[in-house]
Amino acid sequence: MSWTIVIIVIFAMLKMLTSPPSAVVGWFVSNFALHPKLNSKDITITFNGKHLEEKEKIRFTEFFNEALFLKRYNIFQGNEELFLNPETNVIPFVINVKSRKKEMTFYVYSYDDHVDVVKQWKKKVASYSLSSECLQKFTISNSLSV
């Protein structure tokens, strides 16, 4: 009888290890996501040095979260500055994320056919491309607050 209980417990543990609950897997994968879902309460967004209003920030965050990931750009050691300060006339939206232990900065460059994002955290830099018509066409109202 006791062997039966031990076998059932071992089988249950093996089952949990081979297919853990989706909530645990989702949390673990989200910690390493290149394009994370952002919470508008944990971020500040600036454009050309001016903060976006609350409604615009929420709208921009929704568009950013809904954007489709296209591809990741390779950044070789020593070339980080080329991605952080590209030679372009496009003024980026700058997203600063501060929540718990995380501090990240996203530079969002909107072009006609895609959106480029440069993500900087700690001393690391990553760059990738998104597809989002809403982000490409996003405009801010004239009433920017400082």
CA distance 117 to 106: 7
Question: What are the DSSP calls for 84-114, one per residue?
Answer: HS-S-SPPPEEEEEEETTEEEEEEEEE-SS-
CA 90 to chain centre: 20
Q: How confident is the model at residue 11 (pLDDT cuts 50, 70, 90)?
A: confident
Mean pLDDT of all residues in the chain? 85
Residues linked to residue 107 through DSSP beta bridges, in sequence order:
94, 118
Instruction: Read off the pLDDT of residues 95-142 as tens digits, 9 standing for 90 and up.
Output: 999 877 778 999 999 998 899 999 998 889 999 999 999 998 887 654
Q: Quick check: pTM over 0.85?
A: no
Specify the DSSP element, H or E, that contains 43: strand 43-47
CA distance 9 to 14: 9
Instruction: Read off the pLDDT of residues 46-61 as tens digits, 9 standing for 90 and up.
Output: 999 999 999 999 999 9
